[in-house]
Amino acid sequence: MVLRPSQSGNIFWCVYLNEYKLRSTIFVEAMVGLSLGEQHFIQGGIAQDLRCDGRKRLTYRPIYVETGVIPQANGSARVRMGATDVIASVKAELGKPSSLQPNKGKVSIHIDCSSTAEPAFEGRGGDELSAELSNALQSCLLGGKSGEGAGIDLSSLIVIEGKICWDLYIDGLVVSSDGNLLDTLGAAIKAALSNTGIPRVQVAAGESSDDQPEVDISDEEFLQFDTSGVPVIVTLTKVGRHYIVDATSEEESQMSSAISISVNRQGHICGITKRGGAGMDPSIILDMVSVAKHVSEQLINKLDSEIASAEAEDQE
């Protein structure tokens, strides 16, 4: 299968693995003005495996994690990769499962791009970027419409099959933007879910035959949300003949295309999205997937270490 871009601009191609569905959405990027000399400097450095900030092509910027930053939420986290700074929060509410998926709970993701983070986020530009980041994260973390390939186990959110489930509302805020927004937001969501406590629910005895059984929600007992299968997102940005991870805004302005791959700890691919105006040969995509799986191990270990340290500080 050959993935070809639309002629209308930057495009995300969303591939749902195991379902063979392809969907495209527009992705808006902030404009970065660079001189011709600056462009050549960035491109030349990447070609020589020495980027402007001293990193190699497959090296991330420093990652910092804070958890429990929003007390009113069931879980929250703040993640910084270099100068890119985002916050994610999780709110859990009881709801009713979909009739099409009576054995699964529901998760919705909404991202808000603060106009103070980037001038291009003001007005319609910010609204479009927020919508497309939300859709891309939904695809990377929740798989296709049937739930195949989902990185978040929706069946764990069921209280009573077909009647009561937990609905998770995940909100993200872009505080500061310097490239690699999707990966940073994905890391913040994973950290926020690690920080999430789901209240223990007791179902009243003898009420199971009712349409809406009575439940008692504990204010003191919470179940820790299992994030063992929640993936990280690795975006490989192609600049010239090479690709890099954790691209800055200036590096993103020089890209021909980029592929974002969500990978969990078991090495399973949960979703793939592509953006950029250039088509890619399937063999290149397969190579990028292989590289992303290798890089994801380092990212998961680093992120888990930062999450553990942040939660230890919260408990002190």
Domain boundaries, the chain: 52-204+212-314
Closest alpha carbon to 10 in 125, 112, 113: 125
Determine the Cα–Cα distance for residues 201 and 189; give it in Å rounded to an integer.
24
Helix intervals (H) in the chain: 36-47, 124-142, 181-194, 249-252, 282-315
Q: Is the dihedral of CA 295, 108, 105, 202 positive or negative?
A: positive
- 0.75 exceeded by the pTM? yes
Superfamily of segment(s) 52-204+212-314: GHMP Kinase, N-terminal domain (3.30.230.70)
C-alpha dist (Å) from residue 182 to 101, 137, 166, 189, 260: 28, 7, 25, 11, 8
> Within 13 Å of residue 63, how many CA atoms lie on the same side as its CB?
26
Per-residue tens of pLDDT for the chain, all 316 residues: 333 333 333 333 343 333 323 333 334 344 457 889 889 999 999 999 999 999 999 999 999 999 999 999 999 999 999 999 999 999 999 988 888 888 888 999 999 987 776 766 766 667 888 888 998 898 888 865 555 556 788 888 888 888 888 899 999 999 999 999 999 999 999 999 999 988 888 777 655 555 677 777 777 778 888 888 899 999 999 998 899 999 999 999 998 889 999 999 888 888 888 877 667 778 888 899 999 999 999 999 999 999 999 988 877 6
